[in-house]
Structure 1
Amino acid sequence: MTEVVTKALLRFVSVPGQAGKAALITLDNGLDYKKPNTFGPEGLASLDAAFDEAIAAGPAFIAVTGKPYIFSVGADITGIPQVTDREQALEIGRLGHAVFAKFKNSAVPTFAFVNGAAMGGGLELSLHCHYRAISTGAAALALPECFLGLVPGWGGTQLLPNLIGPANAAKVIIENPLSQNRMLKPADALKLGIADTLFEPADFLERSLAWAASVVAGTVTVERAEIDRGPAWSAVIGYAKKLLDEKLHGAAPAPYRALELMELARTATFEDGTAAEDEALADMIFSPELRAGLYSFDLVQRRAKRPAGAPDPDDGRDVNKVGVVGAGLMASQLALLFASRLEVPVVLTDLDQERVDKGVAYVNAEIDKLVAKNKMMPGKAAKLRGLVSGSVTKEAFADADLVIEAVFENLAVKKQVFAEVEAVVSESCVLATNTSSLSITEMAADLKHPERVVGLHFFNPVAAMPLLEIVRAEKTDEESLATAFAVGKALRKSSVLVADRPAFVVNRLLTRFLGEILGAVEEGTDFTVADQAVDSLGMPMRPLTLVGLVGPAVALHVAETLHEAFPDRFAVSQKLGKLVEAGLTSFHTADGALDPRVVEIYGPREGGPTGEELKERALTAVAEEIRLMLEEGVVADAKDIDLCMILGAGWPFHLGGITPYLRKVGKL
């Protein structure tokens, strides 16, 4: 693949208070913001040459910035498959280090003006600069390498801990990537100490140049936190490793290698530390985890943006008002999401005023939390509060363009809700359901216009989970479906088109998987053995903890729905039913210990499969279910199952998709 070269364009600019001009290097690949700046060999060579030319001119300072909206998103990972031997991999690391080090070692002050997205090597370049100004409009700041199966390989593991301390660095390098690749906001970067100052986008460059001139003149002082490089540093790294063990159980090598490099940063010279990064980068480039991670990355970055089989979102109806039936936790989360992303009026309804008031109060409280954390401006918060209202009558939906129900998972109840809504809304209003397992075709069967009913299956917590399963019922028309995809895009969700089959994709596979775990517990397998049976996969949550998160009652309901559809493959756990009858909401107590009442319900532990037997049984069952789902046409392709499981169930990036993994272990 030919490198898309990001050129380093040098110009000299006059700055206030300085006799000499400043050198300004702008990174630009000549394409619009949809194709971000990346670093390949030619791009690094261009940056190297621009720096040398700038130094030769004797500037007051050197600053590097990016094209509109983009600083740089780091190395061009599309070229990784072309790396065929270890020496090539080492050279990639060494080249980046050699060029970036010039900014760190420069006798002339160096500045990064981070005007947009800065990830991976882009953020690492900024860390090499002596000072950093970041635009408040920068969309994403991150070191996402561990998410893919790499380590920050151009100085990140050495510079960041020494700048902001090992605990904060572990958050950026380890915790955020392993939490659905969470990004930093500019305010976060300032608070952590990555940014020295923030400026608004409108006059970012002008203010950054003036600020840099003041720093060089000594009229502005940049203060940095003092970092303790004593034994406490190692204690932090040790604690981070413990947390990593609890999350991954040793399943993925990259974050562990990153922690080792961060520990090395405490005592090693920068040269020795970056040489160790080169070695780690070369090891990771040839690891199976990276190859799997690249497959996952391609799904999330490309397939998720062009959902297979979906109509053009532009063919959908405009949505200028949203109705939400229900005012419970899920419904309230939906109301907040629709209001904040669509910025249209949203009205909640429920059976009585007390429930409605509680739902609206939840939305307002969540908005207040965002303001308190500086994640939302007071002006926007006031606007959102004004957009969300409540009513005890569905007449409030009369002018809505989309109404979504989020009431109790009971088919009869949902059918009644839709009948009541259809009686008051316009004929163009799209009706959506957030059901997790019920038949949408059956839900719409008695309506005058079943063609406008579509499934919008969100995942909990609604704001954080990126997946949206969009379900086409038997009579759903193209315009309603297009509207659903347009809404999903506006909500910034990754949407996947799913056929109307019981429990769709994620819940169907998770229920089959959990059915094997719960079945083994009923057979007598020790709780801990069953819970740890699939630790080697590095799943984000152990099975019994997942049941607690979902809620035993919900898990039981989905199992019952699937048992009714596929009685030969989906059993209903009798003991889980007793757990629900007893009012238990988890297998564990608040401190994480096994609840004694659970032990009493399930009885003594004897017999049952071993941990290894259970793992084999669970993987075999899931593989069978995937084969059947593909035969049924639940999704267009196995890649859509992979995408759903990555985004909706936290299937580990380092394993690639679930279907390639199951093929690798001989199950598919």
Structure 2
Amino acid sequence: MTAPQDPSAEQVTHAVVTDVPLPGDVGTLALVTLTGSPGRPTTLGPRGLANLQAALTELARRARDGEVAAVGITGTPPVFAAGADLDVVLALRDHAESRAVAELGHDTLRLLGEMAVPTFAFLNGPALGGGLEIALHCTYRTAAADVRALALPEVRLGLVPGWGGCWLLPRLVGVEAALDVIVRRALAGRMTSAADAAALGLVDHLVDPGRVVPDSVAWVADVLRGLDVPRRALDDADTWQRAVDAARADVERRLHGAAPAAVHAVELVAAARTAGRDEGFAAEDDVLTELLVSPEVRAGIHAQRVTARAARGRRTAGDHGARRAIRSVGVVGGGLMASQLAVLLASRLQVPVAMREVDDERAAQGRARVRAEVAGLVRAGRVDEAGAERLLEAVSIGTDLAVLRSADLVIEAVTEVMSVKQQVFAELEPLLAPDAILATNTSALSVTTMGEHLAHPERVVGLHFFNPVAKMPLLEVVHTAHTDARTRATATDLAGRLGKTAVEVADRPGFVVNRLLLRLLGDVLACVEDGTPTRVADAAIRPLGLPMGPFTLLQLVGPAVAGHVLGTLHDELGDRFRLSPGLSRLAADGRPLVAPGPTGEDEPQAWVQEAFGQPGGSGARDAQGVLDHVLGGLSEEVGALVSEGVVTGPDDVDVCMVLGAGWPFHLGGITPYLDRTGWSTRVLGRTLHDPAAFGPSPV
């Protein structure tokens, strides 16, 4: 095989073989243990695969000679295996190297599926991508009952499960479940737990987490003595076709051809019913050969790494100084966001949360929202009835501001009007302890202005949560020129304790996510104001594969809210955030903006066009013109975010857009795409990253 450009980048995995006597005198189990570099998850590159292949080749001989009754494979705790070595992927130079990696994976792993004796995977921890494909090649699989991360995430990274997954999984769990795991869960970044995997038929037996090997060995002996392990029949042709057709339509609705991996994955599964093993694996090799050196893969790996690094707390609280202990929290407001915040704070921090509203009626409404939020946690299985009662006891709501007196942290979540927020802070400051922290959940207003009349603006910080609060992983931590080290440290530490990924941003209008989303929306609306038909403008950005079209996003945000934020950004940042009279008309009307069109996708309703007037004229753009206008605007705005010091670099922008707006991995967030397509150079005169990082594919 052709060596990758930088073999030294590989984290080499070794395969250690141990003979284990099976209980009941049924023979010997040869157990392979995968061991990687200390402190690193076990990954598979060319040298690691060669090590595993050598071990399995020898075990195949021993199996043929009757020396072993079974072969098992497990990982080194706390992981089973984390899949392909991504450093090796990034080092691939051409199609010859990528094909060699694809074929070596198949040649190695299929030894487990073609052994003369049964093979067993003991999943002692996360098994991702190629790691899970190791298990799929085995005859049987056990898993620790507490394993939460089994997945084939390749499609999200711009790849396919190409070491057997697309052929093996639908034959094991059925075509519909396989497409769900390979495509839908992968695109959403969702993992499968061991319990769910057992329900799917992906795992055959669950074992005690503290006794993975001994309990699995005992089960192996039972299987060899004749224990029946059920297997589902291959789905019939009609069932297969219906599932594939539904997946094709779903991928088209989601991505509009923006990323090839999902389409390839569906087609590989489509062919798997009638293709033999050799044919199915060869088809995977062909697809991997192309995808491993594609620009989407480099963007996907970038997105995966920057979000993972941020989630690990790249900027730790210790960078800024000692944290303030949070023993009680206050929330000003009782609306939807405030109620969600209160429940999250109470459940995660295990501290009392006092909410304050302006009158009894609104307090009662806030109490009802809190109850509804907790009831939702019960329905989702997040808490039991006893836990729900504890949460409801921990969250109180009333009208007396004095109930917040003992709070170590108070978050205001009132209406987005500067004077109202300033009044709240002015009332709170003399009430609270001198070192209590004042936080705002504003989505766009100036945190600096909010605290400018306070005696101690150094304790003011922005905590911009995203809706729905419990599910969205990003927290923009907004610091002003006055915010002190202790406040910043406490805010970033709080994010981690709440299960959020914190990105620290400087106090500039719209911060990161809303500034870019409103630039996109504003540019689309500007095209409509200039005569572009609403449906042309709405469909124009589909080639990016974003989670939703601009008018669907506008309906989700609400035209009134979007208009308010757009106006704020226009006032602060100028005419590049162009005001939209048509948007004001949409806000005044109040009707739904979009409805399913002939293909089932949301399209702007006819009355939306009426709000903007008759289309046409010299300023009207076609779809490509709208897309160009949007990409130019995003490039300009990202450049401004970096040059203004709102973020420390483009990686922060990508983390924010992936985790706060759901922008896809195939764009890398956004900045790799702007570099690759030449927009950053065209608008800014430079790339946002190293010019070699996201340029043309190395083929």
TM-score by length of 1: 0.92
**Equivalent residues in 2 for 1:193-208, closer than 5 Å:** 193-208=201-216
Question: Distance between the aligned counterparts of 2:402 and 2:521, measured in 1?
Answer: 42
CA distance in 1, matches of 2:489, 2:592: 38
Kindly provide the amino acid, as one letter, of the partner of residue 243 in structure 2: V
Do structure 1's residue 432 and structure 2's residue 439 form an aligned pair? yes
**What residue in structure 2 maps to residue 479 of structure 1?**
486
1:606 equivalenced with 2:616 (yes/no):
yes
- Which residue in 1 is equivalent to 2:121? 112
Residue 44 (str. 1) matches residue 49 (str. 2): yes
Q: Using the TM superposition, give the Cα deviation of residue 654 of structure 1 relative to its aligned residue in structure 2, in angstroms.
A: 1.6
Q: Which residue of 2 aligns with 1:76?
A: 85
Deviates further, 285-294 or 195-204: 195-204
Percent identical:
45
* Contact 1:112–1:133 under 8 Å retained in 2: yes
**478, 489, 510: which one aligns with 1:503:** 510
Spell out the pairing of 1:234-383 with structure 2 (5 A cutoff): 234-302=241-309, 305=312, 307=314, 312=319, 315-351=322-358, 352=360, 353-371=363-381
AA aligned to 1:467 is L
In the TM superposition, residue 18 of structure 1 has moved relative to its aligned partner by: 4.0
The answer to whether the 8 Å contact 1:74/1:123 transfers is yes
2:161 counterpart (149, 152, 161): 152
Structure 2 contact 313–496 (Cα < 8 Å) conserved: no
Is the 8 Å Cα contact of residues 304 and 496 (structure 1) preserved in structure 2?
no
Residue matched to 1:421:
428
Report deviation, 1:577. 1.4
Residue 533 of structure 1 deviates from its aligned partner by 1.1
With over 3 angstroms needed to count, the CA separation of the structure-2 counterparts of 1:224 and 1:425, relative to structure 1, is farther
Maintained 8 Å contact 1:347/1:396: yes
SS of aligned partner of 1:25: strand
Report the Cα distance in structure 2 between the residues aligned to 1:264 and 1:298, rounded to whole angstroms.
Answer: 32
Pairwise CA RMSD = 2.5
Corresponding residue of 1:641: 653
CA, structure 1 residues 609+174, in 2 after alignment: closer, same or farther (shift >3 Å)? same
- The DSSP-based 3-state class of the residue aligned with 1:202 is helix
Match of 2:690 in 1: none
Q: For residues 81-96 of structure 1, what are the structure 2 equivalents within 5 Å?
A: 81-96=90-105
Question: Relative to structure 1, is the Cα distance of residues 51 and 292 closer, same or farther in structure 2, using a 3 angstrom cutoff?
Answer: same
Moved more, 381-390 or 511-520: 381-390
TM-score when scaled to structure 2? 0.89
Structure 1 unaligned blocks of 5 or more: none
Residues 115 and 137 in structure 1, CA contact (< 8 A), matched pair in contact too: no
Moved more, 519-528 or 385-394: 385-394
Q: Which amino acid aligns with 1:620?
A: G
Task: Give CA deviations for 1:383-414 in whole Å, capped at 9, x if unaligned.
Answer: 55554444443444344332222221111222
Q: For 2:246 and 2:424, how far apart are their aligned partners in 1?
A: 50
SS in structure 2 of the partner of residue 59 of structure 1: coil
Q: Measure the CA separation in 2 of the matches of 1:272 and 1:381.
A: 53
The answer to whether the Cα contact below 8 Å between 1:552 and 1:586 also exists between their aligned partners in 2 is: no
Equivalent residues of 2:316, 2:492 under 8 A apart: no
Residue 66 of structure 1, CA deviation: 1.4
Matches within 5 A, 1:588-599: 588=595, 592=602, 594-599=604-609
1:616 Cα deviation after fit: 1.7
Cα 1:396/1:23, change in 2 over 3 Å: farther
Once residues 105 and 389 of structure 2 are traced to their aligned partners in structure 1, the CA distance between those partners, rounded to angstroms, is 46
**Structure 1 residues 585, 177: CA separation in 2 closer, same or farther (over 3 Å shift)?**
same
Q: Quick check: 2:317–2:493 contact (8 Å CA) kept in 1? A: no
From the superposition, tell whether residues 376 and 454 of structure 1 become closer, same or farther in structure 2 (CA, over 3 Å). same
Cα gap change, 1:120/1:384 in structure 2, threshold over 3 Å: closer, same or farther? farther
Q: Could you tell me how far 1:493 is from its partner in structure 2? A: 2.5
| Matched residue type, 1:365 | A
State the Cα distance separating 1:256 from its structure 2 match: 0.7
Q: Tell me which residue corresponds to 1:656.
A: 668
Is 1:572 the equivalent of 2:582?
Answer: no
Cα gap change, 1:356/1:636 in structure 2, threshold over 3 Å: closer, same or farther? same
Question: Could you tell me how far 1:556 is from its partner in structure 2?
Answer: 1.0
Which segment is superposed worse, 537-546 or 300-309? 300-309
| Residues 326-379 of structure 1, C-alpha deviations (whole Å, 9 max, x = no match) | 3322223323333444344444433433123212212212211221xxx66677
Distance 1:576 1:122, change over 3 A: same
Post-superposition shift, 1:447?
A: 2.6
What CA distance in whole angstroms lies between the structure 2 residues aligned with 1:559 and 1:107? 67
Q: Which residue of 2 aligns with 1:452?
A: 459
Amino acid at match of 1:604: Q
User: Which residue of structure 2 aligns with residue 141 of structure 1?
Assistant: 150
Residue 545 in 1 paired to residue 545 in 2?
no
**97-106 or 191-200, which moves further after superposition?**
191-200
Kindly state the Cα deviation for residue 561 of structure 1 after the two structures are TM-superposed: 0.8
Equivalent pairs, count: 661
- Alignment CA distance shift 1:593-1:634 (3 Å): closer
What corresponds to 1:164 in structure 2?
173
Deviation sequence 1:44-78 (CA, Å, 0-9, x none): 23323433455527334322221222110111011
What is the CA-CA distance between 1:290 and the residue it aligns to?
1.5
Secondary structure of the residue aligned to 1:178 is: helix
- Residues 466 and 660, structure 2, Cα contact 8 Å, conserved in 1: yes
Output the CA distance in 2 between the equivalents of 1:430 and 1:293.
38
